[in-house]
Amino acid sequence: MLKTIAVRWVKPVLSDGAWQRLRRLGDQATDVVDERKRQRRLAAMSLTELGREFGTDKVGLHHYTQHYERHLRHLRDESFTLLEIGIGGYEKQLKGGHSLRMWKQFFPRAQIVGLDIHDKSFAQEDRIRTYQGSQVDPAVLDRIVKDAHDLRVVIDDGSHECEHVRETFRLLFPRLPDGAIYCIEDTQTSYWPERGGSADLDAKTTSMALVKELVDGLNYEEFIDDDYEPTYTDLNVVAVHCYHNLVVIEKGTNVEGTNRVNVRRRYELRKQRGRVAPV
């Protein structure tokens, strides 16, 4: 309606140049209104809906977004840095970056950082920064950590090679603050020999072997070996959440104490009194 009125009554009294400038201003105003509508629509979406909107395989091919929302939604209005290892698209130019844009929308105050072995600089925009390099290169990881403001979330969606997953965790996890969340995707490669995994469920070099070690480490205070020295992760992992092909690890101070000594004392006393049945 307004456009019709403008064409009928305003255009005839303006020069061609003035009319074209007025049209451009009108188009810009329309673009601003449309973008505001789009932002309101996106802000009302769940992470799963945003995943579909931006085309990431974290929803559909995988089923990660509902788990991420459960563990990360408390950060939605926080100012921090999220690092995702693996930007997507492999070596293809101008391919990938879908999940970076999803994270940017879900965390409107966060800085989103992506690391990939291939050049993905095309994905850079406001609040999205990319780095090129190996996920197990200490120099690259050191630069990312130094550049980051409050690196609080790490998502390993990189090579999925078990050796790389374990080494990246070893290098990065100690650099994170208490309260940080470290996520490992596509842990199915732990069972695939061609990706460094093993058909042996007791193998010690897979990604899931690392996760199993972390779960045991949660309970290090209950170990009966009095000479056991807790590891860094024993002391600094407070929760491990396992889903199909996704692991979410929470960092914090894992020193809760134990009643192990009293239990052992009561057990030995009962044993001396013959109240413990022989095995």
**CA 97 remoteness from chain centre:** 14
> Taking the CB of residue 151, how many other CB atoms lie within 10 A of it?
21
Instruction: Tell me, yes or no, if 74 is annotated catalytic.
Output: no
Write the secondary structure of 58-125 as one string of H (helix), E (strand) and C (coil): CECCCECHHHHHHHHHHHCCCCCEEEEECCCCCCCCCCCCHHHHHHHHHCCCCEEEEEECCCCHHHCE
Q: Which of 62, 67, 98, 160 is catalytic?
A: 160
**Can you tell me whether residue 221 is helix, strand or coil?**
helix
Residue 45's closest CA among 59, 34, 24?
59
Q: Which two tokens stand for residue 72?
A: 């990360």
Spell out a b/e string for 65-94, using b for 16 or more CB atoms within 10 Å of the CB, else e.
bebbbebbeebeeeebbbbbbbbbbeeeee
- DSSP string of 226-258? TT----HHHHHEEEEEEETTEEEEEES------
Strand partners, 129: 113
The upper half-sphere exposure of residue 139, i.e. CA atoms within 13 Å in the direction of its Cβ, equals 2
Residue 50's closest CA among 98, 84, 89?
98
Reported residue count of the chain is 279
Residue pair 59/52 in contact by the 8 Å Cβ criterion? yes
Catalytic residues: 160
